[in-house]
Amino acid sequence: MIKLTGLIKRYPGRTVTANAVDGLDLEIPEGQLVSLLGPSGCGKTTTLRMIAGLERNNGGIIEIDGTVVSDPARRIFYGADRRPIGIVFQSYAIWPHMTVEQNVMFPLTVGRRKIGREAARRRAREALDMVGLADFATRPAPDLSGGQQQRVALARALVREPKVLLLDEPLSNLDKGLRDRMRDQIREVQLQLGITTVFVTHDQDEALAISDQVILMNRGHIVEHGKPQEIYTFPRSEFTARFLGVSNSLDGVATDVTEGHAVVRIGDAELKCAQAEGVRAGDEVSVFLRPESFRLSRREGMWPGTVEFSIYGGDCWDYHVRVGETLHRVRVYQEKVGLKKGDAVFLTPDQDAAIVVLRNSDAVPVVKTAAS
């Protein structure tokens, strides 16, 4: 279990208002894998490093497994070497002057709870076995490929059986294909050990695929917090919607709201939108539509438009379609012959997939209480 209360990090020399992490409250339940997701500079890595004890928080309380490990107000601070953590870095951080086994043994041979060499070796082998690298134990660490090094790093983080596993963009340095396999392996090991895990990433797909819960951060705040499918299907703010790749937005006014459904007037057209939590009649709203939430037809539809740009993406076609002043990004799957620039088409939004949020909803960070 990890509990953060009012966590604050300031970097000296920057403007006073822009705290890197600004009063973060978060509780991560035992055994869950929680992703900190957000654009670079949103404070996600800083938060992870504060949990690790590699950075000092300027305010707030960090609790790991029921123990306060940092509370500047009460002058409590445990360094990283005294916290029950294991960490995996983006750059692997494998010590190049040691063999694979020596790397993994290291945590067992330092600090206050070191154990004998033979016992350490045995446990290092077990950890390497878990990540499928038992055969590489005696190799010099730099001889391994990037993916293998990252697995060594994982074994090293887990070998002393920490209470908390911290992963700082562990997949970012890997090739695309390898990334998915490594991601699955991390999740597998995490579930098998039932270890509380924090996973920092800027990649929404990674976060959605691996997490029990996703925490979306921006400018040192939590913007949204929820299960992956909730966050994906019900973004509650423009920031979330945009960050999760919803690229079409239309401004309108909510006219009729019933049970989470809203009728939104956009110019002359009216859209019946299924998802409109927290919206009242008369509110100025933005309607977000994913590129794949359109039907495209040459003959009939809601809005007449013109194709301005087309890209073939293998399993799909991406189009920019102009309707009046607005340019829509549209993705169509399973289409053999693509449309060309200048083709006249009709666009019909999929009303069930339209997401309605209050306009300027980013002004106030929307925080959903932690669901366990």
Burial class (CB in 10 A: 0-12, 13-18, 19+), 106: middle
| CB 93, min distance to other proteins, A | 4
CB closer to other proteins, 122 vs 163: 163
**Residues 6 or more apart from 67 whose CB is under 8 A from it?**
none
Helix axes 117-130, 146-158, angle to 10 degrees: 130
CB closer to other proteins, 53 vs 252: 53
Q: How far apart are CA 148 and CA 220, in angstroms?
A: 33
Label the pairing between strands 248-258 and 284-289. antiparallel
| CB 72, min distance to other proteins, A | 7
CB closer to other proteins, 85 vs 216: 85
Q: Which residues bind other proteins (CB under 8 A)?
A: 52-54, 63, 65-68, 72, 74-87, 89-93, 95-97, 106-107, 110-113, 140, 142-143, 153, 156-157, 160-163, 166, 193-195
| CB 185, min distance to other proteins, A | 19
And the tokens for 281?
Answer: 């009649």
CB closer to other proteins, 106 vs 234: 106
| CB 84, min distance to other proteins, A | 5
CB closer to other proteins, 59 vs 84: 84
| CB 5, min distance to other proteins, A | 11
CB closer to other proteins, 62 vs 358: 62
CB closer to other proteins, 114 vs 341: 114
| CB 78, min distance to other proteins, A | 5
Length of the chain: 372
* Whether 254 contacts 307, CB under 8 Å: no
Q: How far apart are CA 154 and CA 174, in angstroms?
A: 14
Whole-Å CA distances, 128 to 103, 132, 194: 11, 6, 18
Residue 333, Cα to own-chain centre: how many angstroms? 26
| CB 168, min distance to other proteins, A | 9
| CB 97, min distance to other proteins, A | 4
Q: Cβ of 180: how many Cβ atoms within 10 Å? A: 15
CB closer to other proteins, 2 vs 330: 2
DSSP state letters, 304-367 = EEEEEEEEE-SSEEEEEEEETTEEEEEEEES-SSPP-TT-EEEEEE-GGG-EEEETTTTSS---
And the tokens for 123?
Answer: 């446990």
SS3 29: coil
| CB 121, min distance to other proteins, A | 16
**Dihedral over Cα of 200, 204, 207, 210: its sign:** negative
CB closer to other proteins, 64 vs 223: 64
